[in-house]
Structure 1
């Protein structure tokens, strides 16, 4: 049975759990695949690039990581438009197949020592395919869950997207940690790094199976049945919802920089710049990401009770005030201190993420929600998030200040803080049609 609240169908709790599981597990698979590259960036740099200096190899590796983000806007344009024209479910099934396939192939690639520069070229191609597919994932999953969730619980349900994403990074980082502990650095450098990528194959099929058994969201079906879908949703999003696009970009600046700093840059930063052992670096990152995953649903619940803006502003303020001190604490060389610093930064990103997914979806009408969110989200992530690991290493190399990446995080947080201040509160309101 279902009831109508404010002219909007609300599915039963059982159906909601099924939708949440299928969407979340698929999202987990996507970001397990996508995040492995960042976690293993230092090893990948040594395997695929000819560089005597590990720092130069790491820069090259992060440059390829950023190349994948170049394709995200293109993927967002393609899959976002498709999702608004043919439905969310079909597109979400397609993107998981592409991403997991590209990740699996990455585990089979020959190295520089085997075929020379051709190895780096093949690595770039697989990253471009992976990035293109990822362009349709986060915006699509957020849109789908927002359109299923009850009005009063939308923040809680949509924030599980971030929870599953962080859990994917925990699983990837944890797996790398266990493999490194079991195999040792030598075996991990030689062949052990391939194992996590190869696992992407079977995981992808699981996610595909779950998503193929979903139906489209009630919001999208209502718009489709009324004949109000847009034939050119991307053009409609730019012309009719340009204000929403700008606000969404502003929201995503901190989300992109914060996520990719903690998830991707931090393991290499701890090992390369702060001289923790690789094993300890993976352990610190894994603990921090796990704590974030636990905190995010609670923050989503709070955003439903107290509004999106208070949570998002608190997260921004935390990064502005404490990013630099947190990096200084990490540099003490003590594992416990580094974990505590990661937990502090993690609390800020959890507060922000708990409200942000719902806030982004609530900006757009249903007819252009997937496409509009895809445009704003992926362009912001590509420009700000994709360069985060590379730019952070460049800052350290150029300035000689190992804490200089904090200034980039603080700048991103300030941009988002000012954007959120000007945004309207949307918690508790029906989605736009």
Structure 2
């Protein structure tokens, strides 16, 4: 990619960049569609696959399966990350979207516990584990793909479209179950309605696979191939030469994931089951907040290109320390207006984290280990913190009787998150590595 001094690309390269961004973002869309669906139909999934009459226990079992699938994400990143640094980003991303969407689709076809007994939860867990394994190679690869295509001065803007895909996917994953819950009877939802959102993942993944198969690999990876500089052991190089940066990345990912999985995954269950808020007052406000984040996220990404990534991340951490208590006080009032206001406060905190995310973390590592280092660091932290967030929140609210526990969890994660944010190097406006720096210098010389 050759950019001018203003960061603009020739029209042909601009078109290629847009297609690359779309192909990368649709995988994230598919991943978070699954999470959105799971968040909204967790109670139905628990009743379908886990025995017993205790709704709380069944929901905890469903969230336990959700958390268990995250244990496979580090293994997936250990497999797909180094593979992406050896054979290319495009090939691996085609595999991950096929496995992600396929495993989600199959869940919609599985027989329930009442039909095949304990084989039902076993098959369900296997699908969730395959989904987690393939997801381990998805986000790191998609973010790396966009970062290596985007011009240096606009990496924040283009990277924010990956998280735009996240929000679109979660929005679809929230909207489809919401429409079904509000239009179908409860027996119909328990009988067959919960399956429909999972089945939609099949064609969604098919579109993503088609787009990814049409793309070439990134210019940065091609440069490595042409210069015969591909790392023989990306994992060894990452651990020996970049372990400090890896720890900083994992620290940043902790607050991002606590925010993600509290707001987008746990909140629907919290509103309905813990606060006993009606379906309309619980589901509609979150969808409105997602739309608001969709409007804001690319502006936040562009802002990080101007003021830097660190100031935006620091602002997010401070907001997550100050605003969760007022937000949960508003949500606890129970009306859809106060719920909307409380969720909006949390959303404004969170968009500052995810806006610059895809531009920041891949740029922390050189091209030869970028896919592996980002994927492994991101997914180890996500497995430990992200996947367990709904389970911890639900269990601690049940154990302590304190409905504000999720607020305290957010505040604690944000307080810890400030440390790695201060330690990270500013990446805004800087080339990804020496190869890109040489390209930028040659472009500027001829411009």
Question: Normalising to structure 2: TM-score of the pair?
Answer: 0.93
Structure 1 CA distance for aligned equivalents of residues 15 and 267 of structure 2: 38
Q: Cα distance, 1:19 vs. partner?
A: 1.2
Contact 2:3–2:151 (CA under 8 A) maintained in structure 1: no
Task: Tell me the SS of whatever aligns to 2:432.
Answer: coil
Which shifted more, 251-260 or 33-42? 33-42
C-alpha displacement of 1:17: 1.2
1:79-98 equivalences in 2 (<5 Å)? 79-98=80-99
1:163 and 2:164 matched: yes
Deviation per CA, 1:55-102, whole angstroms, max 9, x where unpaired? 111111100000110000000110001000000000000000001110
- Whole-angstrom CA distance in 1 between matches of 2:235 and 2:86: 10
> 1:116-139 CA distances to partner (integer Å, 9 max, x unpaired)?
222111111100000000001111
Matched residues in 2 for 1:36 and 1:48: separation? 16
Partner SS, residue 424 of structure 1: coil
Deviation at 1:402, TM superposition (A): 1.0
Aligned to 1:426: 427
Is the Cα–Cα contact under 8 Å of residues 320 and 409 in structure 1 kept in the other structure? Answer: yes
Match of 1:388 in 2: 389
Mapped to 2, the partners of 1:178 and 1:270 lie a distance apart of 17
1:73-152 alignment runs, 5 A limit: 73-152=74-153
Q: Distance in 2 between matches of 1:238 and 1:110?
A: 44
For residues 132 and 160 of structure 1, what CA distance do their matches in structure 2 show?
A: 24
5 Å matches for 1:4-83?
A: 12-83=13-84
d(CA) in 1 for partners of 2:35 and 2:211? Answer: 19
**TM-aligned CA distance change 1:115 to 1:270, over 3 Å:** same
2:312 paired residue number: 311
Counterpart-to-counterpart distance in 1, 2:190 and 2:322:
38
Tell me the SS of whatever aligns to 2:155: helix
Q: Is residue 26–residue 210 contact of structure 1 (8 Å, CA) maintained in 2?
A: no
Is 1:236 aligned to 2:237, yes or no? yes
- List structure 1 segments (4+ residues) > 3 angstroms apart after TM superposition: 1-6
- In structure 2, how many angstroms separate the alpha carbons of the residues matched to 1:23 and 1:422? 29
Show CA shifts across 1:377-428 (max 9, x none).
Answer: 0000000001000000111111110111211111111121111112221110
CA-atom RMSD, angstroms? 1.7
C-alpha distance in 1 between matches for 2:167 and 2:398 = 29
Aligned to 1:372: 373
Q: In the TM superposition, what is the alpha-carbon distance from 1:3 to its structure 2 partner?
A: 5.2
> 2:24, 2:149 → 1: CA distance?
11
Cα distance in 1, alignment partners of residues 54 and 288 from structure 2: 29
CA contact (8 A) 1:95 1:137 kept: yes
1:197 matched to 2:198: yes
Aligned pairs for 1:199-348 (under 5 A) are 199-348=200-349
Runs of at least 5 residues in structure 1 that lack an aligned partner in the other structure: none
1:163-189 CA-to-partner distances (Å, cap 9, x unmatched) read 111110001101111111221322112
How much does 1:2 deviate?
A: 4.5
Distance (Å, rounded) in 2 between the aligned partners of 1:273 and 1:184: 22
Q: Which deviates the most, 325-334 or 113-122?
A: 113-122
The Cα of 1:325 is off from its aligned counterpart by 2.1
Q: Say whether the 8 Å CA contact 2:24–2:143 is kept in structure 1.
A: no
In structure 1, C-alpha distance between the alignment counterparts of 2:117 and 2:404, rounded to whole Å: 35
Classify the secondary structure of the residue corresponding to 2:356.
helix
